């Protein structure tokens, strides 16, 4: 399959959106465009699996290479393996449901959908790029529309949140850029003319350890900030709480995954010696993220804050898993990215739907909404169960893979932090059930607006798609897990060689 | 060997009935859901009996030893070459026995619920969750892989959560369900870490390899030690913590009495007969591992079990809510099973404790389910749980009375009812190994008889109380199940259990040990007589005894303040001492640092922006000043 299609479809959608006149047209075009993209992504998974099934063991499939800037050897080179394919599918699902969840945007609807699609273009481009430079370019393309989306269509302290989020992420990408250029400058043993940005080519070069020690923290922190690495996670609660529904969905569901993906694909893969040496520092930071985020979520009273802290905890687990360095646990990291992406998108979608009916997100002001909107409440419970790792839903598969994998490290340090990380399953249960008990159950409150109706069709489509994906992954995980595992070989081999 | 593949249907059919009823239950009349779910459980139960017949009498034995049969096994999630989660069905004597118990009790509870839950607004939801629970429980006992056990372990936890919270409009039910889930989740963390340790030291999750006495897992496990205990001991103790959570062993028992907020048939099924014995079952499943690699862990099991059985029995004497008395009685009886497992050895006669424990699990399931369903029948009639608001009910509810009495006699261990036989075997096993534990268990046997008959005399005899309306006997659909279970409770003890279940699969025969049986029946009768004297004749006033016991009575009534400690830990420590400071730290320290950086940048640029004022004189001044400064600096450098 031609991967460029994954960029082309959003671009065409954008062009069509420019011509849209009415709100109905704009949202139909956006839904159609992202729908096509979703079909395309499913198709990509199928052809990918067929290609692998027919015995193709190339590291990257469907590779293409377009010259972009010859003098500096910048290419737009694309290709996918099991990791990126699964994340592309996640992105397509979340984008499509995100568009449906913003069906009733009233203000500057055309511009809203344009920004949303630009954002998703950035994400798709990021996941198919094999070239550090274009990867970085798409990364920025995804981050910048976020500023507009929160600043214009947000709520609450939206200017503050938008500014904070953008500044922190931009600050991180400045550090990241230095790290990437550093890798570039060591990317050729033969001389300056043969320097390259291509990840696969750089992986064959041995970057001196002294240089790696500088660049690894830069790249890891640069991507890690987007993955809510403690103590650089504070953009997340404010950003999520101010963002409109679809933006929260995309941001927590997909953008934060770019952080994890970047850490895995660039920091760990290209700088393996430093990764092995310095992992312990970041393991400590991510362990803090996991437990700290979960405890932070216990006392929050705003639904979005609870979910933002929960994301800090769950995304901390992703980075934690990447740093434990073995095949099982890294597989778990990718599974956790997908699982968290799906369930957090579901959470934010539901919070948006509940908010649009109750006009509050404060859990102290809601009670017994199970009686008023049973469909949404049941969906919220399912999302909660996925989050606390109920078997049969996606969270269990990912978390257990991480814990089992992390425990295969034989030293006491790795095992103790694994036990610490595993204890988060209890704390998660506490904050999830607290919310469920407070807002969904109990006698129906009388302070809520009267005449509340349950979900309408587009909301049902959103929640059902996401729940089917979550349950699908939770019930039949083997194909996904195998697809990812088979692609982790090059990365773990390189890391293990150094060990 | 007979193909047992049809056993797959037994759990799977229930999953489908859950999905079907859950998704479309509200599209039909409520009665339809009840009938569909009951019919599915009936099919499951019938197939279970058929499997039990096939297994125990026709195809299970090879050369006189019951085999472990892996009927079906597929890889569900693969970690690496040796570690994977498999889904499948494992048949051996205890799993077949459990399958029969679960489907039987579940079928009775389904039928009973058709009458009991009539008119409830959550009728089809209730039946959907009952199906889910039965599915999960069957998956738990039939699992081939310890991780599969863990999965279904969590699933029974969630279905228990959903069913305790059935009356979700009631705040007490909501908080009880939350408490049950979180306490067991905490215990499950121990279970999970135990599994992780096992995976690292035994290198497999598969039961066949883990529990094979000549397998690698057992032979190679004693290598590493940590704080004086081998790693495998730690793993097994941690797994026991998981079991203690599910089986409500001290100090993780606090959720079970509160779980009585759920509908009474649910209490009968989940919190008396099936789910709460999952911990006992899991230890029995891993028994070879415990016996051969870690006698220490078994000691822990036995002592925790003994303490819990005494502790819960004392509390049961003071409670006044009929379901709570039964809940503490359940805790106490499970403690019994744990003790018996804990003192057991491996082998045929050597493993008497193992057999007795499973036997008691089997008989207990019937009489305890019967007690709960009887209690449900009473609650159904007079709409209260308080035993002091009941009295003389034998006049109004003759059938409930007879069946309840049967169950009371069975649990008290009066021959020839079932409890007598299983209790006798257990006490013999304990007597042989540990005289101290025997003494504890002997006393508990007396207390058990006492509190059961305290309940019985208070509820069914004495004077009439003021009732809202004249109490009525329950509908036939409920009575049928009571009668069926009463027959089971009476006769289950006559099954030659040791011919079917033993720790190594070799059948052996047992007999009644008169030297134990007579004193045990004696103390049980003494307990009954004391209860008669106190609560029927009222020749001795219970009030006086209460007062003379003073502090001890009050603390037993308050369940020894364990609940207060729990509240203290969760509210004060987890919420106020950890979470609130963490959230404060995050908002005020971490976030303000980030904001501080932004404000500093802002502040500095605010200050220096006036340097770009656009005034030529100022620029010229700065330029000249700078030049002079550089000149002086150069001069200074040259001179020095």
Strand partners, A80: A61
Indicate yes or no: CB of A430 within 8 angstroms of CB of B182. yes
For residue range B33-74, list pLDDT tens digits in order: 888 899 999 999 999 999 999 888 888 788 888 888 888 888
Q: Write out pLDDT tens, residues A153-210.
A: 888 888 888 888 888 888 899 999 999 998 888 887 776 677 888 888 888 888 888 8
Any B CB within 8 A of A497 CB? no
Decide if pLDDT at A124 tops 90.
yes
The answer to whether the CB atoms of B185 and A425 lie below 8 A apart is yes
Mutate to test the interface with A, among B580, B583, B595 (most CBs of A within 10 A): B583
- Mutation for testing the A interface, residue in B150, B154, B163 having most A CBs under 10 Å: B154
Written as six digits, the tokens of B580 are 């609130």
What pLDDT, on a 0 to 100 scale, did the predictor assign at position B2?
60
How many beta carbons lie within 10 A of that of residue B112, not counting itself?
30
pLDDT at B222 over 60: no
Contact B77 A423 (CB under 8 A): no
Rg (CA), chain B: 31
Residue A487 Cα to chain centre, angstroms: 19
Residues of chain B with Cβ-Cβ distance to A407 below 8 Å are 196-197, 199-200
Is the pLDDT at A394 greater than 80? The verdict is: yes
B184 and B99 share one domain = yes
d(CA B202, CA B229) in angstroms, rounded, equals 16
Instruction: Tell me what the mean pLDDT of segment A22-45 comes to.
Output: 90
The SS3 of residue B77 is strand
CA nearest to B162 within chain A: A381
Structure-block tokens of residue B266 = 């649910």
Mean local confidence (pLDDT), B384-408:
85
The parent domain of residue B579 ranges over 564-639
CA distance A215 to A179: 5
Q: Which residues of B touch A232 (CB under 8 A)?
A: 594
d(CA A149, CA A145): 6
Q: Minimal CA–CA distance to A448: which of A350, A347, A362?
A: A362
Between A147 and B513, residue with greater pLDDT? A147
Nearest to B441 by CA among B422, B455, B457, B461: B422
Mean pLDDT of A389-413: 89
**3-state SS string over chain A?**
CCCCHHHHHHHHHHHHHHHCCCHHHHHHHHHHHHHHHHHHHHHHHHHHHHHHHCCCCCCCEEEEEEEEEHHHCEEEEEEECHHHHHHHHHHHHHHHHHHHHCCCCCCCHHHHHHHHHHHHHHHHHHHHECEHHHHHHHHHHHHHHHHHHHHHHCCCCHHHHHHHHHHHHHHHHHHHHHHHHHHHHCCCCCCHHHCCCEHHHHHCCCCCHHHHHHHHHHHHHHHHHHCCCCCCCCHHHHHHHHCCHHHHHHHHHHHHHHHHHHHHHHHHHHCHHHHHHHHHHHHHHHHHHHHHHHHHHHHCCEHHHHHHHHHHHHHHHHHHHHHCCCHHHHHHHHHHHHHHHHHHHHHHHHHHHHHHHHCCCEHHHCCCHHHHCHHHHHHHHHHHHHHCCCCCCHHHHHHHHHHHHHHCCCCHHHHHHHHHHHCHHHHHHHHHHHHHHHHHCCCCCCCCCCCCCCCCHHHHHHHHHHHHHHHHHHHCCHHHHHHHHHHHHHHHHHHHHHC
- In B, minimum Cα distance to A408 occurs at B200
Q: Is A449 a residue whose pLDDT tops 80? A: no
Give the 3-state DSSP-derived string for B476-514, with helices as H, strands as E and coil as C: HHHHHHHHHHHHHHHHHHHCCHHHCCCCCCCCCCCCCCH
> How far is residue B504's CA from residue B397's CA, in Å, rounded to a whole number?
46
Give residues 327 to 386 of A whose Cβ lies within 8 Å of B.
Answer: 327-328, 368, 370-371, 385
Q: Determine, for residues A437 and B185 on separate chains, whether the beta-carbon distance falls below 8 Å.
A: no
Span A222-238, average pLDDT: 87
Mean pLDDT of B366-386: 89
- Average pLDDT, rounded, for chain B: 86
Please tell me if residue A168 touches chain B, with a CB cutoff of 8 Å. Answer: yes
- Tokens 């010259």, residue located: A67
Bridge partners of A5, per DSSP, are none
pLDDT band at B598 (very low <50, low <70, confident <90, very high): confident
Question: How many beta carbons lie within 10 A of that of residue A282, not counting itself?
Answer: 24
Whether pLDDT at B150 is above 90: yes
Which of A400, A415, A421 is the best mutation test for B, with the most CBs of B within 10 A?
Answer: A400
User: Average pLDDT for residues B158-175, to the nearest whole number?
Assistant: 89
Distance of alpha carbon B293 from alpha carbon A368, whole angstroms: 51
- How many beta-carbon contacts under 8 Å exist across A and B? 127
- Answer yes or no: do B445 and B574 share one domain: no
pLDDT at B13 over 70: yes
CB contact under 8 A, A400 and B583: no
Among B215-224, B501-510, B569-578, the range scoring the smallest mean pLDDT is B215-224
Of B542, B557, B572, at which residue does a domain stop? B557
Residue-level pLDDT at B544: 67
Structure confidence by residue, pLDDT tens digits, B442-472: 999 999 998 998 888 888 887 777 777 778 8
pTM of this structure: 0.90
Residues of B in contact with A403 (CB under 8 A): 192, 196
What residues in B contact A300, CB-CB < 8 Å?
Answer: 583
Give yes or no: residues B485 and B344 share one domain.
Answer: yes
> In this predicted structure, what is the pLDDT of residue A36?
93
Question: Which range is most confident: A398-402, B345-349, B464-468?
Answer: A398-402
The DSSP symbol for B267 reads: H
Q: What SS3 string covers A467-494?
A: HHHHHHHHHCCHHHHHHHHHHHHHHHHH
Other C-beta atoms closer than 10 Å to the C-beta of B167 total 18
Domain shared by B455 and B591, yes or no: no
Residues B194, B123 share a domain: yes
Shared domain for B390 and B501, answered yes or no, is: yes
Q: Is A8 on the interface with B (CB under 8 A)?
A: no
Grade residue B540 by pLDDT with cuts at 50, 70 and 90. low
Per DSSP, which regions of B13-135 are E strands?
Answer: 61-62, 65-66, 69-78, 84-91
The domain total for chain B is 2
Are B569 and B551 within one domain? Answer: no
pLDDT-derived band at B609 (thresholds 50, 70, 90) equals confident
Q: How many CA atoms lie within 13 A of A57 on its CB side?
A: 5
**Domain shared by B583 and B459, yes or no:** no
Query: What values do phi and psi take at B66, rounded to 5?
Result: -70, 130
Determine, for residues A404 and B83 on separate chains, whether the beta-carbon distance falls below 8 Å: yes
Interface test with A, best of B26, B75, B78, B567 (most A CBs within 10 A): B78
Task: Give the integer Cα–Cα distance in Å for B149 and B89.
Answer: 11
B521/B577 same-domain check? no
Q: Would you say residue A38 has pLDDT above 90?
A: yes
Residue among B78, B152, B188 whose CB faces A478 most closely: B78
Question: What is the percent of chain A where pLDDT is above 70?
Answer: 98
pLDDT of residue B625: 92
- CB within 8 Å: B193 and A434: no
Is residue A273 a contact partner of residue A215, using CB atoms and an 8 Å limit?
no
Tokens at residue B551, please?
């502090």
B128 in the same domain as B260: yes
pLDDT band at residue B543 under the 50/70/90 scheme: low
Give the residue from B530, B557, B584 where a domain finishes: B557
Give, as one character, the DSSP assignment of residue B121: T
Chain B CB contacts of A409 below 8 Å:
none
The pLDDT of residue B221 is above 70? no
Residues of chain B with C-beta less than 8 angstroms from the C-beta of A397: 77
Indicate whether B614 and B504 sit together in one domain. Answer: no
Planar angle of CA B369, B370, B373, nearest 5 degrees: 85
**How far is B416 from A262, CA to CA, in rounded Å?**
71
Name the minimum distance, in Å, from the CA of B479 to any CA of chain A.
33
Q: Supply the pLDDT for residue A346.
A: 93
A323 Cα to chain B: minimum distance (Å) = 17
Q: Is A442–B574 a contact, with Cβ atoms under 8 angstroms apart? A: no
DSSP helix/strand/coil, B413: coil
Q: Which of B541, B557, B573 is the last residue of a domain?
A: B557
At A365, is the pLDDT very low, low, confident or very high (cuts 50, 70, 90)?
Answer: confident
State whether B196 and A403 contact (CB < 8 Å). yes
Longest dimension (CA), chain B: 120
Which residues have a Cβ under 8 Å from the Cβ of A112 and sit 6 or more positions away? A102, A105, A149, A152, A153
Q: Using one digit for the tens of pLDDT, what is the confidence trace for B478-498?
A: 888 999 999 988 888 888 888
Q: Mean pLDDT lowest for which of A61-65, A116-120, A218-222, A401-405? A: A61-65
Residues B375 and B524 reside in one and the same domain: yes
Rounded CA gap, B409 and B525, in Å?
A: 10
CA separation for the pair A141, A153 (Å, rounded)? 19
- Output the average pLDDT for chain A: 88
The DSSP string of B214-235 is TSHHHHTTTS-EETTEEHHHHH
Q: Find the CB nearest B154 among A232, A295, A390.
A: A390
For the cut 90, the answer to whether the pLDDT of residue B192 exceeds it is: yes
Does B171 sit within 8 Å of A442, measured CB to CB? yes
Which pLDDT score is estimated for B619?
83
Give me the helix-helix angle, A303-323 and A327-358, nearest 10°: 170
Q: Phi/psi of residue B500, each to 5°?
A: -110, -40
Euclidean distance between CA atoms B125 and B572, whole angstroms:
36
**In this structure, what token pair is assigned to residue B54?**
């096939």
ipTM above 0.85 for this complex: yes
Q: Is B417 helix (H, G, I), strand (E, B) or coil?
A: coil
Specify the pLDDT at position B102: 93
């Amino acid at each position: 399959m031609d991967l460029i299609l994954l960029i082309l479809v959003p671009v065409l959608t954008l062009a069509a959106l420019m011509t849209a006149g009415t709100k109905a047209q704009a949202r139909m075009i956006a839904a159609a465009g992202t729908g096509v993209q979703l079909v395309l992504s499913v198709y990509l998974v199928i052809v990918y699996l067929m290609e692998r099934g027919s015995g193709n063991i190339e590291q990257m499939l469907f590779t293409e290479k377009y010259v972009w800037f010859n003098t500096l050897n910048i290419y737009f080179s694309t290709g996918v393996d099991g990791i990126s394919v699964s994340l592309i599918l996640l992105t397509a699902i979340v984008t499509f449901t995100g568009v449906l969840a913003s069906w009733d945007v009233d203000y500057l609807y055309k511009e809203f959908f344009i920004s949303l699609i630009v954002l998703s273009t950035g994400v798709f481009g990021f996941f198919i790029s094999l070239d550090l430079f274009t990867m970085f370019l798409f990364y920025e393309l995804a981050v910048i529309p976020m500023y507009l989306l929160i600043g214009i269509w947000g709520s609450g302290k939206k200017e503050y949140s938008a500014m904070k989020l953008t500044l922190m992420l931009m600050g991180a990408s400045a550090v990241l850029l230095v790290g990437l250029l550093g890798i570039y400058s060591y990317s050729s043993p033969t001389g300056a003319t043969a320097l390259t940005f291509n990840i696969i080519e750089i992986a064959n070069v041995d970057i001196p350890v002294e240089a790696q020690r500088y660049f690894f923290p830069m790249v890891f922190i640069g991507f890690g900030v987007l993955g809510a690495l403690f103590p650089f996670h504070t953009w997340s609660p404010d950003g999520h709480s101010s963002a409109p529904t679809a933006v929260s969905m995309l941001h927590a569901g997909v953008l934060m995954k770019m952080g994890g993906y970047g850490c895995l694909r660039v920091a760990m893969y290209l700088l393996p010696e430093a990764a092995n040496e310095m992992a312990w520092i970041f393991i400590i930071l991510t362990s803090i993220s996991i437990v700290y985020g979960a405890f932070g979520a216990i006392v929050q009273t705003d639904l979005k804050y609870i979910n933002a802290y929960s994301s800090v905890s769950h995304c901390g687990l992703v980075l934690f898993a990447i740093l434990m360095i073995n095949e099982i646990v890294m597989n778990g990291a990718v599974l956790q990215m997908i699982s968290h992406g799906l369930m957090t998108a579901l959470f934010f979608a539901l919070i948006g739907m509940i908010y649009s009916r109750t006009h509050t997100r404060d859990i102290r002001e809601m009670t017994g909404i199970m009686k008023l909107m049973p469909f949404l409440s049941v969906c919220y419970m399912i999302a909660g169960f996925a989050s606390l790792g109920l078997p049969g839903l996606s969270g269990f598969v990912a978390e257990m893979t991480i814990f089992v994998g992390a425990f295969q490290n034989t030293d006491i340090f790795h095992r103790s932090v694994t036990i610490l990380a595993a204890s988060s399953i209890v704390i998660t249960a506490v904050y999830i059930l607290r919310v469920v008990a407070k807002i969904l159950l109990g006698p129906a409150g009388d302070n809520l607006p009267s005449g509340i109706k349950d979900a309408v069709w587009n909301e049902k489509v959103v929640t059902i798609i996401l729940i089917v994906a979550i349950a699908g992954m939770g019930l039949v995980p083997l194909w996904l897990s195998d697809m990812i595992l088979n692609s982790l070989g090059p990365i773990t081999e390189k890391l293990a060689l150094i060990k | 060997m007979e193909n047992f593949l049809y056993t797959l249907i037994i759990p799977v059919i229930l999953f489908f009935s859950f999905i079907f009823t859950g998704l479309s239950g509200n599209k039909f009349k409520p009665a339809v859901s009840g009938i569909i779910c009951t019919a599915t459980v009936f099919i499951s139960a019938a197939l279970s009996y058929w499997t039990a017949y096939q297994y125990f009498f026709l195809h299970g034995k090879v050369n006189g030893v019951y085999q472990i049969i892996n009927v079906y096994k597929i890889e569900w999630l693969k970690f690496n070459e040796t570690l994977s989660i498999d889904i499948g069905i494992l048949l051996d004597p205890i799993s077949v026995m459990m399958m029969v118990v679960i489907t039987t009790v579940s079928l009775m509870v389904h039928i009973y619920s058709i009458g009991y839950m009539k008119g409830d607004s959550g009728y089809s939801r209730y039946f959907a969750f009952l199906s889910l629970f039965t599915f999960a429980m069957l998956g738990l006992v039939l699992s081939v892989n310890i991780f599969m056990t863990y999965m279904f372990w969590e699933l029974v936890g969630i279905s228990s959560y959903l069913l305790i919270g059935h009356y979700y409009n009631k705040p007490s039910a909501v908080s009880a369900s939350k408490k049950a889930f979180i306490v067991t989740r905490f215990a499950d963390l121990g279970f999970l870490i135990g599994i992780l340790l096992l995976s690292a030291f035994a290198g497999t999750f598969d039961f066949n390899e883990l529990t094979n006495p000549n397998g690698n897992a057992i032979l190679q496990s004693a290598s590493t030690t940590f704080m004086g205990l081998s790693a495998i001991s730690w793993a097994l103790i941690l797994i026991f913590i998981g079991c203690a959570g599910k089986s409500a062993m001290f100090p993780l028992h606090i959720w079970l009495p509160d779980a009585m907020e759920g509908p009474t048939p649910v209490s009968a099924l989940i919190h008396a007969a099936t789910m709460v014995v999952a911990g006992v079952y899991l230890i029995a499943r891993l028994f070879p591992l415990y016996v051969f690699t870690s006698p220490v862990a078994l000691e822990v099991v036995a002592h925790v079990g003994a303490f819990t059985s005494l502790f819960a029995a004392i509390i049961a004497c003071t409670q006044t809510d009929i379901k709570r008395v039964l809940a503490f009685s359940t805790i106490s009886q499970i403690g019994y099973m744990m003790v018996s497992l804990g003192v057991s050895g491996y082998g045929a006669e050597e493993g008497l404790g193992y057999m007795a424990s499973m036997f008691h699990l089997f008989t207990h399931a019937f009489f305890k389910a019967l007690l709960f369903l009887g209690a449900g029948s009473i609650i159904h009639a007079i709409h209260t749980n308080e035993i002091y608001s009941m009295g003389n009910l034998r006049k109004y509810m003759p059938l409930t009375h007879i069946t309840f009495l049967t169950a009371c006699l069975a649990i008290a261990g009066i021959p020839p009812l079932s409890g007598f036989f299983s209790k006798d075997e257990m006490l013999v096993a304990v007597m042989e190994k540990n005289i101290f534990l025997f003494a504890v268990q002997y006393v508990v046997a007396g207390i058990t008889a006492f509190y059961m008959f305290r309940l019985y005399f208070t509820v069914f005899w004495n004077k009439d109380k003021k009732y809202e309306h004249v109490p009525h006997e329950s509908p036939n659909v409920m009575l049928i199940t009571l009668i069926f279970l009463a027959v089971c409770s009476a006769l289950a003890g006559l099954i030659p259990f040791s011919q079917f279940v033993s720790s190594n699969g070799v059948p052996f025969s047992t007999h009644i040990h008169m030297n134990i049986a007579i004193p045990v029946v004696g103390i049980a009768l003494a307990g009954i007589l004391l209860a008669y004297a106190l609560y029927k004749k009222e020749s001795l006033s219970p009030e006086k005894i209460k007062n003379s016991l003073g502090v001890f009575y009050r603390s037993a009534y308050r369940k020894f303040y364990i609940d207060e400690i729990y509240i203290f830990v969760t509210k004060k420590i987890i919420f106020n001492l950890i979470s609130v400071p963490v959230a404060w730290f995050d908002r005020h320290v971490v976030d303000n640092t980030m904001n501080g950086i932004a404000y500093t940048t802002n502040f500095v640029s605010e200050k220096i922006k006036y340097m770009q004022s656009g005034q030529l004189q100022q620029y010229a001044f700065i330029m000249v000043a700078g030049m002079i400064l550089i000149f002086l600096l150069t001069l200074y450098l040259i001179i020095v």
